[in-house]
Every structure is written in C-alpha cells, then in structure tokens.
Amino acid sequence: MKPLRLLYLDTETVWRGGQEQLFSLMKGLHGRGHQVHLAAPDDAPLARRCRALGLAVHPFRQRSEWSLPALRRLRQILSQARFDVLHSNTPRTLMTAGAASRLRSGPICITSRRVIFPLRSSLSRLKYNRAQHGVIAICRSIQSVLVDGGVDPDRIRVVYEGVDPDWFDHLEKPPFERGLDEVLIGMVAHLSEEKGHSDLLEAASLLVSRFPEARYVLIGDGALRGELEQECHALRLSEFVHFAGFREDSEALMKHLDIFCLPSHSEGFSSALLAAMANRLPSVATKVGGNRELVSDGQTGILVPPSDPPELAEALWQLLQSRQLRHRMGQAARIRVEENFTLAKKISQTEAVYQSFLLARGGEG
C-alpha cells in the first residue's frame, strides 16, 4: 500500500501497556515507510521515546473529555499537514478527534479500544458510532463488549496485540539476587485494585508452608503500594515478597522468573502476559477478558476464576511442584505467540484496517 501520513493521539503522562502497545505499532509503521506523528503531552514517556526514534511529536494535552483548548490545538496540528488517519489511543480524545476531523474535512478517525469495561451511556455509543469511522478492538472479548453496548459491528475490527519474539531472545538479564533453590513467581502490573495483587498475596500465604522456596516478585508501581506492603507484613510474607517498583526493563527482568501470574479481576489484553509467553514462561491467569484468548488452559498455562485465592494457590502449586511441567508449558506459550500474536501480524492488520476505512470513505464520496 502507498505510504500514509498518520497522526496518533495519546493523553497519558505515564507508561503503561497502552502506551507500550502504541509505541511498538508506531515504530513498526515507521519502519514500513509511513509518516508517523504523535500528539501527546510533551513530558510523557511516550513522547520522549518517539522523539528518540526520530518521529514528529506535537505537544498536546487534554485533561477532560470536553475541551475547547484541546480542540483548537488539534485543529492547529491538523492544519500543518494533510493526514490520512487520526488514530486515538485514549478514550478522552474521541469527541475532540471527531470534531476536529469533520471541521476540516480531514482524516478518517480510528480509535483503539483496550479496556473491557462495558459502555453504559448513549454518549458512549455516540462517541463510537458517530465521532469515529472505525474501532480497533484488541481482542474478541472487547469486541463483544462493544457490540453489547450498542456499537455498530460493521465499525469494529479485531487486531490482536503482538510482539517480536526474536527481540526477547536478545534481551540480557539485568542483575537480580536470588537463592539457588528459590522458584520465582512474578507479576508485572500497575498496582491498582483490578489487577488482583491482594489475591496473589493471599495465595502466597497459603503456599508458604507447602513450598517455602517460592518467592514473589511484584513489578510495577501505583497508589496501592503502601497498602499492599502493609498487607504483606500482616500476612508475614515480607521475606518472601519483593516489590521491584516500576521497571523499564520489565521484559528482561522476566528472564529471572520461573512462573508468571496475572490474577486480574478485569483485563483487556495484557502486554505483560504476552511478554511473559514470549519469554517462554508458563502462566497462571484469571478467566477474564483477553486472558482467555491468550492462554490455552492446560497447555500454555492454567486459568483460574478471579477473586479466588485458594484456586490461585492450587494452580501455582501445580507448577511449583514440576520443573518439567513449567518447561513444557513455557515452550508451548512461546509457540503460541509465534503463531498468533506477532508484531508483524499486528502491523499488517492495522494497515489493512486503515485501508478498508479509507476506501469506504472514498466510496461514500
């Protein structure tokens, strides 16, 4: 396809899965010859990484869903070049993007839907059915939520997130102290309620006497850190649990792990779980959202009900007991990534989505 001029919108000032997933997409499309631009807060980690890559970054902030200053700024950015696609990565910008595009008879508007939360209002349906030409759902579970919420199915395309498996093989292990007999169970997630860290701590308390060699590494930061540390102390787990904080090298740090755990109460499509599978780790994850599409239960990992620490502990116990089972499931996880969730496939399918909506708009004209 001919090179496109693409403008991405992201309003976050933190680095989480959505920003990581967008950055890999932008980097890949840039490598295929497309002109890639970003509109984002100038001090955001995503903006810094894009500038380091040589991509055009336009300072842009939007703190609320209805913002005339943001609309004026976006119209100003759109006036600097004739963009083909305006792609929103965060929901706050949907109405602004739609209004700015239509005022200028500008680019097609596409948005990525990454969260599994249901649509609860007519305004939400309006944002997806009228303000956007198309919606990219990053897994089928999210597609179902959108359809159930009243979004026109013809506007929705499913494009799974993807990674470059070979990239993980070239990562070097960062320094990390561990005992010779320890088995490391790791979790990479923002320290927030829906991620289920407390469930993992409760499961760990049930396993201490059965497998005292297990250690738990929590990678990530957030508002719940103090509360979780207190809970850890109350459960007498302080010597077994390590709070590693936010790590930009989390994918490389995973190479020290033996088991990956994601006990989320709600989940879209986890970048961390995908990275763990690419790193040949077996996983224990909850039966929510995209986890069920990533993990083949009993083959690449074990799926358990959410908010059920005893079941979580039993699944971890199965993997803790058997090095052979961990190895077999880890190898199967890597093969599943190579066959279904590669970055190359994600980039090609995103290009196809852009092309289909561009052709549809041309047909309408």
Q: What is the pLDDT of residues 270-298, one digit of tens each?
A: 999 999 999 999 999 999 999 999 999 99
Q: For the chain, what is the mean pLDDT?
A: 94
pLDDT of residue 229: 97
Task: Tell me the pLDDT tens digit for each residue of 30-67.
Answer: 999 999 999 999 999 999 999 999 999 999 999 888 89
Q: How far apart are CA 274 and CA 295, in angstroms?
A: 9
Geometric angle at alpha carbon 270, from 301 and 141, rounded to 5°? 90
pLDDT of residue 74: 95
Q: Is residue 145 classed as helix, strand or coil in its secondary structure?
A: helix
pLDDT of residue 17: 82
Supply the CATH classification number for the domain 166-340.
3.40.50.2000
pLDDT of residue 151: 95
Task: Tell me the pLDDT tens digit for each residue of 58-112.
Answer: 999 998 888 999 999 999 999 988 999 999 999 899 999 999 987 666 899 999 9
| Close Cβ partners of 307 (under 8 Å, ≥ 6 residues apart) | 196, 199, 265
Q: If pLDDT is split at 50, 70 and 90, which confidence band does 365 have?
A: very low
Domain 5-162+342-364 has CATH 3.10.20.740: no
pLDDT of residue 360: 85
Task: Tell me the pLDDT tens digit for each residue of 162-173.
Answer: 999 999 999 999
Q: What is the pLDDT averaged over residues 141-147?
A: 96
What is the location of CATH 3.40.50.2000 in the chain?
A: 5-162+342-364, 166-340
Q: If pLDDT is split at 50, 70 and 90, which confidence band does 179 have?
A: confident
pLDDT of residue 318: 97
Alpha helices in the chain (DSSP H): 17-31, 45-53, 68-79, 94-103, 122-129, 140-148, 165-169, 197-207, 225-234, 250-253, 271-278, 291-294, 309-321, 323-340, 343-364
Residue 153 pLDDT > 90, yes or no? yes
Q: What is the pLDDT averaged over residues 133-147?
A: 96
Q: What is the pLDDT averaged over residues 339-351?
A: 97
pLDDT of residue 157: 97
* Residue type present at position 112: S
With 0-12 CB in 10 A as exposed, 13-18 as middle and 19+ as buried, what is 60?
buried
Q: What is the pLDDT averaged over residues 246-255?
A: 94
Q: If pLDDT is split at 50, 70 and 90, which confidence band does 364 have?
A: low
